[in-house]
Amino acid sequence: MKKIVNGVLADMTADETTEWEQRQVIDPAVVLAAERARASVAMLQRIEAFTAQFTAGVPAAELASWPTKALHAELVLSGGTSEMIDAEAAALGISAQTVAEQIAVAAAKYTSIIGAVTGMRRKTEAGIAAAETPEQVQVVLDGALQTAQGMAEAMGLTF
């Protein structure tokens, strides 16, 4: 092997070559940790892309209000009133009852989807953490993606 000494290419001694080669050995634990991190990021990216089907174009403040809107919709559907639902209904020019029904249907679908996504994410994270080799990590990720695709198709969605 060669090295540069004072700007000149020179041969490495046997000891220098051995030392260099030993430093080139990659710790399997480091490789496994990197593969786990890569798989986790890949999973999260797929989840973000999937959930964007429902959240794209929705301002953050409105998205943050969805749980509150669902509660207010239930209030209206049970005979109560809600300034939040009334304001949305007035802006849309439809009844508060209709807005509440629309919100309740969307909330039920969204919470079901998010529940499934959260369960898949947690199961996949546990599988990734338990994997003992980079190959096992990939098997876990591939299996999760295949399962998620099937679940999405069963809901009439794409993953």
* Amino acid 77: pLDDT: 98
pLDDT at res. 15:
86
Average pLDDT over residues 142-159: 88
Instruction: Look at residues 88, 56, 55 and name the one whose alpha carbon lies nearest to residue 69.
Output: 88
Instruction: Check pLDDT > 80 for residue 21.
Output: no
Given pLDDT bands bounded at 50, 70 and 90, which one contains residue 25? low
Q: What is the value of pTM for the model shown?
A: 0.72
Mean pLDDT, range 89-107, rounded to an integer: 97
Considering only 10-14, 29-33, 87-91, 114-118, which range has the smallest mean pLDDT?
A: 10-14
